[in-house]
Amino acid sequence: MQKTRLIDRLAGRRRFGFALAAGLVFLTAAASRVQAGNIYVPNYSFALPDIGTNSPYAAAVLQSWQQTSQPGWYSPADFDGAPWSDLAGTFYNAPDFTNSTETNTSYIGNCVGDQAAYLQVVPQVGILQVLSATFNVGKTYALTVGLIGGGGGMVEGSTFQLSLYYLDASSNMVTVAASTVTNTTAIFPADTNFVDFQVEVPGVRATDPWAGQNIGILLLATPDFYDPPQWGGYWDVGNVRLIETTALNLVNPAMTNGQLQFTVQSEPGVVFQILATTNLSLPATNWTSLGTLTNLTGSLSIVDQTAAGLGQRFYTARQAP
């Protein structure tokens, strides 16, 4: 089936801190992502399965990805007989097509590979998968997805959600972080270029319920159900990327002979600035700089010899420009 024909049928700063008993010294670190390690997302570009190259072809198949379950309210009879399984799948993207006189006027120039995914704009239509990778303590996560809105007559204001989640002990999906994308002609002026959108999880703490849990990815059409209804059209989806980064953090404080020592953790090679103040209400521009350093190994010990005699002092580390 052609994707367009299928659509026609449906038209329709976190901060980390702790206190020292001696001198009541607080340390904080502004959450930051600087360098990253890629986490493998199976079939991230929707290259599999190969659905063929003879026409502008779309097929309701998705390897490694699972389609969201059909909700009880959905009736194929209300959608020209289209089964729920037809509402998400893969389409072929190329400037022209083998053995065809058709020209692909909607060729997506920055598509990774020659296939991408489509999701019909019907509530609860989505695709998901649970990775072998886990949410690790002290790490931050960023999911980036290429999207094109407006396809098939999608109305302005229709929305799409990117989510990272985990499964609890009862296998219930629990959202860790989510971001909503709204279809507008300003954001999506053309259907020939993916626009990247991102959702982030700040530094994972040992007390977070998702710490150590497998990472889940959910991509979901979220049009308004009733007022006004925003059904109809389709989203194009491509190049799903997930990166893991060591959060910029201050840990292990100790006070010895009036000197405060602590450790800065980050990705190796990060250049950062240490700032300090005795008045937390002051803007960061008025804090005292203790120096700009490079964390060559990922763990760097800092000693503040100027902390003696201070009732309290606050610290923050921020990535240098």
pLDDT of residue 10: 33
Residue 154's pLDDT is 94
pLDDT tens figures, 15-59: 333 334 334 445 555 544 444 579 999 999 999 999 876 555 789
Average pLDDT over residues 89-114: 80
Element (H, E) at 7: helix 3-10
Query: Residue written as tokens 């240098």?
Result: 320
**pLDDT tens digits for 170-190?**
999 999 999 999 999 999 999
Strands (E), 247-287: 249-256, 259-265, 270-277
**Neighbouring C-beta atoms of residue 230, cutoff 10 Å:** 23
- Look at 3 and 253; give whichever has higher pLDDT: 253
- Among 17-31, 133-147, 186-200, 201-215, the minimum mean pLDDT is found in 17-31
CB atoms within 10 A of CB 233: 24
φ, ψ at 76 (rounded to 5°):
-55, -30
Predicted confidence at residue 14, as pLDDT, reads 28
Q: CA 170 from chain center: how many Å?
A: 25
Counting residues of the chain whose pLDDT is more than 90, the rounded percentage is 51
> For residues 11 and 120, which has the higher predicted lDDT (pLDDT)?
120
114: left (phi over 0), alpha (psi -120 to 50) or beta: alpha
Give me 95's structure tokens. Answer: 């400037």
pLDDT level of residue 13 (50, 70, 90 thresholds): very low
pLDDT class of 80 with cuts at 50, 70, 90: confident
Domains of the chain, with CATH numbers? 36-245 (2.60.120.260), 249-319 (2.60.40)
pLDDT at 65: 98
- 241-275 residue pLDDT tens: 999 988 777 888 887 777 788 888 877 888 888 88
Q: Share the mean pLDDT of the chain.
A: 84
Mean pLDDT, range 122-144, rounded to an integer: 95
Q: Judge if the upstream peptide bond of residue 229 is cis by omega within 30 degrees of 0.
A: no
Q: Per the structure block, which two tokens stand in for 244? A: 């893991």
Of 23-32, 84-93, 186-195, 284-293, the one with minimum mean pLDDT is 23-32
Nearest C-alpha neighbor of 241 from the set 48, 39, 37, 89:
39
Beta carbons of 35 and 298 less than 8 angstroms apart: no
Q: Using an 8 Å Cβ cutoff, are 222 and 187 in contact?
A: no
